[in-house]
Structure 1
Amino acid sequence: MAVTAERGVGGGVRAHVTRTAELWKLFRNERSDPGAFYRRLAADAVAGFERRYGSLAGKRMADVGCGPGYYTEAFRAAGAVVLPLEYDPAELRLAGEPPADAVVGDAERLPIATGALDAVFCSNMLEHTPRPATVVDEMARVLRPGGWGYLSFTNWYSPWGGHEMSPYHLLGPERGVRLYEKRHGTDHKHRVGENLYVTHIGDALRMFEAHPDLVVRRTEPRYYPWAAPIMKVPGAREVLAWNCVVRFERV
């Protein structure tokens, strides 16, 4: 379904730039202190959702690809009823005990009834699935009409597209990986074609545009949403966006 425009909500340019600077400082220590970075993102997510959609209290949500549960924790603190779902059991324990009632499951086959949710949240998971269109189909299926969704992913040509292999990934998924492994060894978490896949913003937006039950309300770079106009420029957005956010609704 066609994309419709939505203006950014909340704060001026100065506030957005300040947020970007703060996130950058936290991101630089993300490997040694992931909790500080992701809890800040989770708090931002709650604040943004409540500005757009009202209180989260009582809302039925899924946190798809929840990892250790930073977002689930924040949504529950705001009063939402959250199902945390994660494919890899080890990810659930990265910060200690997994989130309560977490489900080990596949985003391509969500263990959720059709139309059961008010909202679905999926942060930085899409680039880790071989069939992203199926994930989008499943998110549409479990949302009630009028429900909303948030999807973010790291686009391949962004500075962090190769995750720990960055910036070697910019040389391509084969050549870049070979050079990275030659210099740093083969003991790395993410492997292209196994648990990390080349994901482009243009391809993702076409998936949404082709979906009969979803409408995109806004796309933006996650860490600097004030630069949303770059999302309208094919090519440039693949490099400059760093991390892509798609805000959508079920119709």
Structure 2
Amino acid sequence: MTVRILLSLLFLWSSLLLSAQQNLSFEDWAIDSQGIEQPLGWQTNNLYVPLISVNKSSLASEGQYSVHLSSNAFPPEGRAPGHLYTSFSLNQALQGLSFDLQVDSLRDGAYIELNIQAYQQGQLVYADTVQFNRLQTNWSRRYINIPPQTMDSFRLEFIAKTFQTGLGYEGYASCYIDDIRLSQASSIRSFVENTFSFYPRPAQDRIWLKEVEQLDFEPRLYSLQGQLIRSWSKNSQELDILGLAAGQYLLVLQTAKGAYSQILQVH
């Protein structure tokens, strides 16, 4: 029991340290040489007022602040894409990425884009692009599964995407992002995943979680593209999946220590 508690504390401490270094909850901001407030640990395409795509917002899903990302130019040139990105070194492979998203404005075909890139010794070993093209007037938790892969550095980029034309840009996109969490492989994570199971496999109308009594979790179901499909009450062990289309989904147990996932096959 003492070993498990120690592993839990070490994992929680490493997660908090990574979050603080990368400012993944956007609590830390500073004024740059142009007089623009920027999120620490992140780069933007902010140039000068009014060409600003990244702003601090008090509309937060947790903590005091979130980041507001939007297309950043003004007529007659149109709205150029807004960029928010960061890169950092890793000492363990990632297995998932989750964040809170609220999309408040999309016009003329614009959308929000997330680009993920992982590198090992300077070589690209994993890349993924996810588009969010629907309005979400409330906070929505998004989860991106990352296949097991050896990596030593990682890059995230959020874009408020518009379209370039011969006369400038068309479209406008605006969103809020908060509480980014990176699930890393660790001894405590392996312990939890080994005890997380469910039946039947494949499933049709209902599934039951097994060996989760020691966890404090929120069960959620996502598409393999990261779209939240369904959620259930906290610590629910009997999950109704009636009405789901046949196919593969990602069953996620969201806990204070990270998100733990397994593939759910529905027939």
Q: Which has the larger radius of gyration?
A: 2
Query: RCO greater where, 1 or 2, for CA within 8 Å and sep 6 or more?
Result: 1
Greater share of strand: 2
| TM class by smaller structure | under 0.3
Greater share of helix: 1
Could you state the TM-score of these two structures normalised by the residue count of structure 2? 0.24
